[in-house]
């Protein structure tokens, strides 16, 4: 891994919010050229695929899955990007994709972050309409995978125990919203 | 979907706090207890839903980052274009242009259409409404506007209708017309915070700068989840 790569990974691990944008800015141009040359992706399509690849990388770093891997960030980004681009061009039937063409990275979670059931989508939407601190606390815990300690210091709670009970209250509040919604709609 | 006191044990399982023996016995219980199984599936869906929300938010931030590239003119042309402007038109005209571009730059940097968060479930009594929202989701804004406007006639205070007709109008560039609909949404609505945000963006788009600044300052001082972004905009105005 190059030094700058390691720096980006370390910053993301520390919870530096700007590090993801540094990652985006570092490889965007190269990725868009590559997407255009290999898969005829327009600038907009290339950017869209690249954004999803960055989200997948971010999730893996936050889940601690990138520590054991030794390739450069670029290798991972382009590997994920290749799978996403192949999926996209095969959907728009621009290219016939054989199964072998889709690579998988062992130990690495490269599932599409936007693939979800209807119920999961409705829940995600409900969280949008939830105010803070619940929205932030739940997102920081379940998506960003911050420790309770880190959440407490970010949101100004006295200690991790206070943050943890707040998280539980928020989780139950969301659960109640879901129960009310789905019971009233008879699903 | 009644909570029978499983929350604690399910959380311990999902957060990996169980010993392997405990986990085994928990999974045995899940097999034989349908209510527990439902609760576990719900908790898993909630986690997935929260993760999806997080991914969508990050996507939104990355799209905003991408907009910086789309709005940026190629470097080598920048000076030439600027120079021709100065030659072709008067300095006053240029200043006028820059002032206007300021507000629309901020607008395009922060504006993204709000997702459809109303359940896509089809119910006979709400068929028309979900039809209009399906149009909205597929970016058929004109059709959505027509359908929502028709329903608003019989239900003028409905927050879903007001919010999404405002959204559709804004998406078609008609910020002026969107404003009254956003203003119609009261604090009791779950759309109140986003409506206040999009009202601010509409003011920006229609170049009502003083009103926009006041609106974003108000959002920045509230507990709204848009507070941080509103403070950023207010600082730029």
Report pLDDT digits (tens) over B16-38: 888 999 999 999 999 999 989 98
Q: What is the pLDDT along chain B (237 residues), one digit of tens a residue?
A: 445 578 888 888 988 888 999 999 999 999 999 989 988 999 999 999 999 999 999 999 999 999 888 765 554 455 555 555 555 555 555 555 555 556 777 888 788 888 777 755 444 445 567 788 888 888 888 999 999 998 888 888 888 899 999 999 999 888 999 999 998 898 878 788 889 999 999 999 998 888 899 899 888 887 777 888 888 888 888
Chain B contact for A131, CB < 8 A?
yes
Choose among A116, A129, A138: nearest Cβ to B117: A129
Mean pLDDT, range A85-101, rounded to an integer: 67
From chain B, the residues in CB contact with A116 under 8 A are 48-49, 52
Instruction: Report the SS3 class of residue A146.
Output: coil
Q: Are B50 and A122 an interchain contact pair (Cβ–Cβ within 8 Å)?
A: no
Instruction: Report the SS3 class of residue B1.
Output: coil
C-alpha closest to that of A22 among A57, A60, A68: A57
Chain B contact for A119, CB < 8 A?
yes
Q: Are A116 and B49 an interchain contact pair (Cβ–Cβ within 8 Å)?
A: yes
- State the sign of the Cα–Cα–Cα–Cα dihedral B18, B23, B27, B28: negative
From chain B, the residues in CB contact with A126 under 8 A are 49, 117
From chain A, the residues in CB contact with B66 under 8 A are 24, 28, 47, 51
* DSSP letter string, B137-178: HTT-HHHHHHHHHHHHHH-TT-HHHHHHHHHHHHHTT-HHHH
Q: Are B52 and A114 an interchain contact pair (Cβ–Cβ within 8 Å)?
A: yes
Contact B52, A120 (CB under 8 A): yes
CA angle B136-B69-B63, nearest 5°?
35
pLDDT at position A92 over 90: no
Which of B12, B55, B120 should be substituted to probe chain A, the one whose Cβ sees the most A Cβ atoms within 10 Å?
B55
C-alpha closest to that of B140 among B163, B117, B121, B164: B164
What would the two tokens of residue B9 be? 């044990």
A107 conformational bin, left if phi > 0, alpha if psi -120 to 50, beta if neither: left
**Closest chain A CA to residue B51:** A143
* CATH class of the domain whose range is A3-101: mainly alpha
Report pLDDT digits (tens) over B101-145: 567 778 887 888 887 777 554 444 455 677 888 888 888 889 999
Q: Are B53 and A24 an interchain contact pair (Cβ–Cβ within 8 Å)?
A: no
Instruction: Report the SS3 class of residue A16.
Output: coil
Instruction: Report the SS3 class of residue A66.
Output: coil
What is the least distance, in Å, from the CA of A105 to any CA of chain B?
20
**CATH 1.10.10-classified regions of chain A:** 118-184
Q: Are B53 and A139 an interchain contact pair (Cβ–Cβ within 8 Å)?
A: yes
**Closest chain A CA to residue B122:** A185
- State the sign of the Cα–Cα–Cα–Cα dihedral B192, B198, B204, B207: negative
Q: Give the whole-angstrom CA distance, residue A157 versus residue A108.
A: 33
Choose among B47, B62, B117: nearest Cβ to A24: B62
What is the least distance, in Å, from the CA of A94 to any CA of chain B?
22
Q: Provide ipTM, 2 decimals.
A: 0.90
Q: Give the whole-angstrom CA distance, residue A64 versus residue B185.
A: 43
* Cα→Cα distances B69→B9, B132, B213, Å: 48, 34, 26
> What CATH number labels A118-184?
1.10.10
Q: Give the whole-angstrom CA distance, residue B14 versus residue B27.
A: 12
Mean pLDDT, range A112-128, rounded to an integer: 90
Q: Give the whole-angstrom CA distance, residue B136 versus residue B167.
A: 9
Mean pLDDT, range A89-106, rounded to an integer: 59
**Closest chain B CA to residue A147:** B15
Chain B contact for A116, CB < 8 A?
yes
Which of A21, A143, A181 should be substituted to probe chain B, the one whose Cβ sees the most B Cβ atoms within 10 Å?
A143
Q: Are A127 and B50 an interchain contact pair (Cβ–Cβ within 8 Å)?
A: yes
How long a stretch of residues is chain A?
Answer: 187
Chain A contact for B15, CB < 8 A?
no
- State the sign of the Cα–Cα–Cα–Cα dihedral A81, A84, A85, A86: positive
- State the sign of the Cα–Cα–Cα–Cα dihedral B159, B165, B167, B173: negative
**Closest chain B CA to residue A120:** B49
**CATH 1.10.1740.10-classified regions of chain A:** 3-101
């Amino acid at each position: 891994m190059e030094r700058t790569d390691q720096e980006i990974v370390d910053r993301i691990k520390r919870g530096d919010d700007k590090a993801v944008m540094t990652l985006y800015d570092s490889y965007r141009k190269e990725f868009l050229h590559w997407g255009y040359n290999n898969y005829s992706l327009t600038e907009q399509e290339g950017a869209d695929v690249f954004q999803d690849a960055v989200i997948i990388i971010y999730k893996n770093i936050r889940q601690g899955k990138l520590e054991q891997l030794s390739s450069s960030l670029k290798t991972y980004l382009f590997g994920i990007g290749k799978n996403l681009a192949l999926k996209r061009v095969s959907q728009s039937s621009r290219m016939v994709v054989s199964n072998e063409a889709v690579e998988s990275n062992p130990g690495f979670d490269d599932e599409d972050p936007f693939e979800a059931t209807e119920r999961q989508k409705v829940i995600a939407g409900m969280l949008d309409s939830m105010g803070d601190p619940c929205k932030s606390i739940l997102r920081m815990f379940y998506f960003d995978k911050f420790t309770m300690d880190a959440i407490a210091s970010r949101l100004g709670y006295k200690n991790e125990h206070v943050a943890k009970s707040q998280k539980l209250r928020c989780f139950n509040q969301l659960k109640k919203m879901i129960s009310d919604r789905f019971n009233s709609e008879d699903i | 979907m009644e909570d029978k006191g499983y929350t604690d044990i399910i959380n311990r399982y999902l957060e990996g706090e169980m010993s392997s023996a405990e986990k085994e016995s928990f999974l045995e219980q899940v097999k034989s207890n349908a209510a527990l199984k439902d609760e576990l599936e719900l908790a898993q869906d909630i986690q997935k839903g929260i993760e999806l929300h997080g991914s969508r938010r990050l996507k939104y931030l990355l799209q905003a980052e991408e907009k910086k590239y789309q709005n940026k003119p190629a470097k080598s042309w920048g000076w030439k274009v600027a120079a021709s402007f100065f030659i072709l038109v008067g300095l006053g005209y240029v200043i006028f242009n820059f002032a206007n571009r300021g507000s629309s730059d901020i607008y395009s940097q922060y504006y993204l259409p709000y997702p459809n968060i109303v359940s896509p479930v089809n119910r006979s009594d709400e068929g028309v409404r979900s039809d209009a929202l399906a149009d909205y989701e597929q970016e058929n804004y004109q059709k959505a506007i027509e359908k929502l406007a028709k329903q608003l006639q019989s239900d003028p205070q409905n927050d879903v209708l007001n919010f999404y007709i405002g959204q559709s109008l804004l998406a078609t560039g008609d910020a002026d017309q969107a404003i009254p609909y956003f203003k119609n949404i009261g604090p009791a609505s779950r759309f109140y915070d986003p409506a206040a945000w999009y009202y601010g963006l509409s003011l920006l788009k229609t170049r009502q700068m003083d009103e926009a600044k006041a609106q974003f300052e108000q959002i920045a001082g509230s507990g709204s989840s848009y507070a941080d972004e509103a403070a950023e905009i207010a600082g730029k105005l």
